[in-house]
């Protein structure tokens, strides 16, 4: 049986900008994309801890070390600068792999720096 599991997660990111007029997506710093095993253009779910909104979009790359988390397009109606968010991606794996599967998770501080 194939099941869907958490693959990658960024916990505690702060939105640094929103832009309704952009075509859509979530900008994430390249170093954080790599640290948690995400890919540019990968589908992600975003959970807004500050207001309870949830939405799906895809990853675009921001400069490494910038700490920028940009919410763009229609999703910009669901977040504002300063909101705390969780970013998650999922993978389909064979049930036999579940006991050895370990998602890649990073936690950020209030300045969007990796703390673990």
Q: Which of 22, 39, 47, 58 is catalytic?
A: 58
Q: What distance in Å separates the CA atoms of residue 116 and residue 2, rounded to the nearest whole number?
A: 30
CA quadruple 9, 12, 18, 21: dihedral, nearest 10: 10
* 58 counts as catalytic: yes
SS3 102: coil
Q: What is the 3-state secondary structure (H, E, C) of 15-75?
A: CCEEECCCCCEEEEEHHHHHHCCCCCCCEEEEEECCCCCEEEEEEEEECCCCCCCEEEHHH
25 belongs to the catalytic site? yes
Active site residues: 25, 58
């Amino acid at each position: 049986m194939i099941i869907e599991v958490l693959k990658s997660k960024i916990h505690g990111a702060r939105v640094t900008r929103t832009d309704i007029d952009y075509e859509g997506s979530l900008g994430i710093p390249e170093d954080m994309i790599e640290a948690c095993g995400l890919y540019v253009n990968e589908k992600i779910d975003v959970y807004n801890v500050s207001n309870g909104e949830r939405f799906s979009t895809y990853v675009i790359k921001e400069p490494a070390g910038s700490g920028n988390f940009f919410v763009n397009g229609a999703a910009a109606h669901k977040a504002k600068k300063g909101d705390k968010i969780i970013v998650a991606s999922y993978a389909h794996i064979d049930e036999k792999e579940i006991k050895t599967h370990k998602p890649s998770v990073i936690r950020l501080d209030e300045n969007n720096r990796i703390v673990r």
